[in-house]
Amino acid sequence: MTSLLENPIPILVTGIFAAAVCGVAWVMTSKRSALAALGGVALLTAGLLLLERAIVTNVEQVEATLHRMARAVEQGDVPTLLAHVSASLPEVRRQLEARIDEVDVEQVDIKPNLEIKVFPERTPPRATATFNVVVRGSMRNLGGTQSYPRYFECHFIKRDDRWQLIAYEDFDPIRRR
C-alpha cells in the first residue's frame, strides 16, 4: 500500500486502462451505465491521485530531507544543514562543518539510484538511504571547479516527527564497499 502512495504512475495507468474499458463499453453499447462507470472511474482515479499527493510517506520525508540538505550545502548554509543532523551527535556535526568549510560548492546532484529503506518497527523509527551524488565545486585552498562523484550511505532517526541524520559514510562510487 505504501508504494501506491509514493508513486502516482500505477494509479494513473490503472485509471486510464479502466476508463478506456468503460469508454469502449459505452461506445459499443450506448448504455448509460457504461458512461456512469466511466465517470466513476474518473472520479476514483482523481481521488486516489489527490490522496497520493496529500499523504507524505516516511520514504518521501527522508528524500525531502536529503534534498533540503543538498540545497543547504549548495548555498553554504551550515545552520540549515546542521538542523537536519541529530544534536546528540556532535562528532558528526563537527565533521560536516569541517568538510563544508573546505569547499565552495556550486551544485549537488543526487542521482536517481536513491534507495531508501525505512524501519518503522524500531523505536524510534530509523531509515537508511544509499545513493550516488555528484558535487560540483572547488577546494578552497586549490581553486579550479571540478566534479566530485561520491556514493553515500546515510542513516536517519525520526524524532519529533522529523528525520535527522545520525551517521553517514561516503565512498568512491567505483570502489564502494
CATH number for the domain spanning 88: value is 3.10.450.50
Q: Are residues 37 and 81 in the same domain?
A: no
The residues that bridge with 155 in the sheet, in sequence order, are 128, 167
Domain-terminating residue out of 54, 75, 93: 54
User: Comparing 66 with 140, which gets the higher pLDDT?
Assistant: 66
Q: Are residues 65 and 50 in the same domain?
A: no
**Per-residue model confidence (pLDDT) at position 145:** 84
C-alpha 2/C-alpha 15 separation (Å) is 18
104 confidence band (pLDDT: 50, 70, 90): confident
Q: What is the pTM of this model?
A: 0.77
Domain-terminating residue out of 54, 74, 89: 54
Q: What are phi and psi of 5, to 5 degrees?
A: -85, -5
Instruction: Note whether residue 176 is domain-resident.
Output: no
**Per-residue model confidence (pLDDT) at position 130:** 95
Q: Which domain holds residue 154?
A: 58-171
Q: Are residues 132 and 144 in the same domain?
A: yes
- Report the domain count for the chain: 2
Q: What are phi and psi of 82, to 5 degrees?
A: -70, -20
**Per-residue pLDDT tens digits for 108-125:** 999 999 999 999 898 899
Q: Are residues 34 and 71 in the same domain?
A: no
**Per-residue model confidence (pLDDT) at position 1:** 47
Domain-terminating residue out of 54, 71, 92: 54
Is 138 exposed, middle or buried (CB count within 10 Å of its CB: 0-12, 13-18, 19+)? Answer: middle
| Residue 63 vs residues 23, 86, 109, 172: alpha-carbon distances, Å | 38, 17, 13, 22
Instruction: Note whether residue 147 is domain-resident.
Output: yes
The C-alpha angle with vertex 56 and arms to 51 and 58, in degrees rounded to 5, equals 140
pLDDT exceeds cutoff 90 at 97: no
**Per-residue pLDDT tens digits for 131-156:** 999 999 888 777 778 888 999 999 99
Q: Are residues 18 and 86 in the same domain?
A: no
DSSP line for 44-81 = HHHHHHHHHHH---HHHHHHHHHHHHHHHHHHT-HHHH
Other Cβ atoms closer than 10 A to 173: 16
Residue 175: DSSP 8-state: S
16-32 average pLDDT score: 90
